[in-house]
Amino acid sequence: MKPSLPQGTRDFGPEVVRKRQYILNTIKAVFELYGFQPLETPAMENLETLMGKYGEEGDKLIFKVLNNGLGDAKNIEKSKAAFENALQGKNDKNLTERALKYDLTIPFARYVAMNHGQLTFPFKRYQIQPVWRADRPQRGRYREFYQCDADVVGSKSLLNEVELTNIYHQAFTQLGIKNYELRINSRKILTGLAERVKAAEKFLEITIALDKFDKIGLKGVEEELRKIGLDEGDVVFITNGFLFISTHPNTNQERLRQLRVLFQKVPIALEGIDEIEYVLNHGNDNKTIVVDTTLARGLNYYTGIIFEAKAPAEVKIGSIGGGGRYDDLTGLFGVPNVPGVGISFGVDRIYDVMEDLKLFPETVEKGTKVLFFNLGDEEAKTTYRLLQEVRSAGVPAEIFHEAQKFDKQFKYAEKKNIPFIIIIGSAEVAEQTAVVKDLRSGQQQKLPFEKLKEFLFI
């Protein structure tokens, strides 16, 4: 049998795991610095927790887990009925009642709803875990991938939005990603826009049309808006008025001023504009923030400020994060009035950005620092003692597993990128010295045993 991996899934070998860990640990440290606390939820959720939360298309992409014991004698009747239902496209509890989580937001809402009596609000949590989607795999799109989220729930304060913009800035800066852009808009402005074009009931459709701007451009959005049934004047208002604000270079202040002109009689939009202004005035880094009227974010649950972090233009990778404010996520689970705001980091894309721009520090890949050669059981006893001493000083070290020829042992060190080798033969045991070779420079020297730790620790 020739082994293979399921489509859209990946193994991560040592080098990749280390680099991914570097990204995740950096972001995690920033979350902690801002007072966010870790949460982990199981891979499987009850199917009913997930279904109906991601739209019709989303529902189809949920991986469902088969109940065990379907073919068992005692379950035959139930299973038959379940299969009948499945053939009619209906979910049946006797076929599947669990599913793999599709994102971290709904499980978080489920957790808050289940535990709201015990939690201290505002509750600030971060969560870094894999999620699963039965999407058609393609470049940069996988069926298992990590999400990395931070959310505050139980607070309406805009200070949270300010904090989240600062988290983006600090995390990207620490990762070395300069020239990223944090796009900002408000669903309140979009709500105002729908009102302004006398199509409040078409708010979601308009949002979805705007959300396609990056892919289909201004002409495409125009087309979509016509399809929705907006009249020509309103289409022009949106494309030549509203979107124009962002498709032409300008300062954030000027864009906000133009928005105030467009929406002078639409209170909800003015509220959104004020909120954006508050965030711009309070953040410790508003140079990377860009007011962007083309930003819409497709997800239904956003109600206030929305964010999207864009990779530096030179790498052509697009979005590397996003988020926004929602009013009532836990309402879905019977606990109303828990407003919140959250952001997400796109780990896979951040990885690609960092590879493209060569931003991973060399130290990330550090594995074993020294290989002790194996010259046979007699010498190995001394070697083994020294090896343990070196390790006790915190230096990752190995002994070659067998007393093979030197060239084999050298090759092992080279392939594993181990910078130092140490050779202790019978002569060295007698002298209490070790031959130390730096494989990068080729330099070789004899050191007394007691100097070894010190030498390697540098």
Binding-site residue numbers are 103-105, 133, 147, 151, 297, 301-302
Reported in sequence order, the residue ranges of 212-326 that DSSP labels E, i.e. its strands, are 289-291, 302-310, 319-326
Beta-carbon contacts of residue 158 (< 8 Å; ≥ 6 apart): 275, 278, 279, 282, 305
How many CB atoms lie under 10 A from the CB of residue 140?
Answer: 12
Binding site for L-histidine: residue ranges? 103-105, 133, 147, 151, 297, 301-302
Contacts (CB under 8 A) with a copy of itself, residues 373-392 = 374, 380-381, 384-385, 388, 391
The least distance separating a copy of itself from the CB of residue 143, rounded to whole angstroms, comes to 8
Comparing CB distances to a copy of itself, the nearer of 104 and 194 is 104
Comparing CB distances to a copy of itself, the nearer of 1 and 430 is 1
Exactly one of 86, 236, 280, 447 binds a copy of itself (CB under 8 A); that residue is 86
User: What distance in Å separates the CA atoms of residue 264 and residue 239, rounded to the nearest whole number?
Assistant: 18
Comparing CB distances to a copy of itself, the nearer of 37 and 251 is 37
Comparing CB distances to a copy of itself, the nearer of 162 and 434 is 162
* Binding of a copy of itself by 152 (CB under 8 A): yes
Comparing CB distances to a copy of itself, the nearer of 133 and 255 is 133
* Binding of a copy of itself by 79 (CB under 8 A): yes
Segment contacting a copy of itself by CB under 8 A, of 63-71, 222-230, 317-325, 450-458: 63-71
* Binding of a copy of itself by 155 (CB under 8 A): yes
* Binding of a copy of itself by 157 (CB under 8 A): yes
* Binding of a copy of itself by 220 (CB under 8 A): no
Segment contacting a copy of itself by CB under 8 A, of 116-124, 196-204, 352-360, 420-428: 116-124
Exactly one of 24, 61, 208, 236 binds a copy of itself (CB under 8 A); that residue is 61
Contacts (CB under 8 A) with a copy of itself, residues 266-305 = 282, 284
The closest alpha carbon to 309, from 203, 165, 158, belongs to 165
* Binding of a copy of itself by 101 (CB under 8 A): no
Contacts (CB under 8 A) with a copy of itself, residues 237-256 = none
Q: Which residue has the tokens 């509220």?
A: 271
Comparing CB distances to a copy of itself, the nearer of 11 and 56 is 11
Contacts (CB under 8 A) with a copy of itself, residues 20-59 = 21, 32-35, 37-46, 48-49
How many CB atoms lie under 10 A from the CB of residue 158?
Answer: 18
Beta bridge partners, 150, equal 126, 343
Angle between helices 14-33 and 159-175 (to 10 degrees): 150
Contacts (CB under 8 A) with a copy of itself, residues 171-210 = none
The least distance separating a copy of itself from the CB of residue 341, rounded to whole angstroms, comes to 11
Q: CA 5: distance to chain centroid? A: 23
Segment contacting a copy of itself by CB under 8 A, of 2-10, 179-187, 227-235, 443-451: 2-10
User: What distance in Å separates the CA atoms of residue 102 and residue 112, rounded to the nearest whole number?
Assistant: 17
Beta-carbon contacts of residue 164 (< 8 Å; ≥ 6 apart): 150, 152, 307, 323, 341, 342, 343
User: What distance in Å separates the CA atoms of residue 79 and residue 178, rounded to the nearest whole number?
Assistant: 56
User: What distance in Å separates the CA atoms of residue 131 and residue 146, rounded to the nearest whole number?
Assistant: 6
The least distance separating a copy of itself from the CB of residue 237, rounded to whole angstroms, comes to 35
The least distance separating a copy of itself from the CB of residue 189, rounded to whole angstroms, comes to 22
The closest alpha carbon to 449, from 378, 372, 375, 377, belongs to 372
Comparing CB distances to a copy of itself, the nearer of 132 and 351 is 132
Residue type, 137: P
Q: Which residue has the tokens 């009596």?
A: 117
Instruction: Output 204-208 pairs: Cβ under 8 A, ≥24 positions apart.
Output: 204/300, 206/230, 206/238, 207/296, 207/297, 207/298, 208/296, 208/298
The least distance separating a copy of itself from the CB of residue 225, rounded to whole angstroms, comes to 32
Exactly one of 98, 188, 325, 349 binds a copy of itself (CB under 8 A); that residue is 98
User: What distance in Å separates the CA atoms of residue 358 and residue 375, rounded to the nearest whole number?
Assistant: 40
* Binding of a copy of itself by 95 (CB under 8 A): yes
Contacts (CB under 8 A) with a copy of itself, residues 7-26 = 9-14, 17-18, 21
Q: Are 395 and 389 in contact (CB under 8 A)?
A: no
Q: Are 149 and 129 in contact (CB under 8 A)?
A: no
User: What distance in Å separates the CA atoms of residue 124 and residue 108, rounded to the nearest whole number?
Assistant: 11
Residue type, 280: L
Q: Write each residue from 319 to 358 as x if it is in contact with a copy of itself (CB under 8 A), else as -, in one continuous string.
A: -------------xxx------------------------
Q: Are 77 and 89 in contact (CB under 8 A)?
A: no
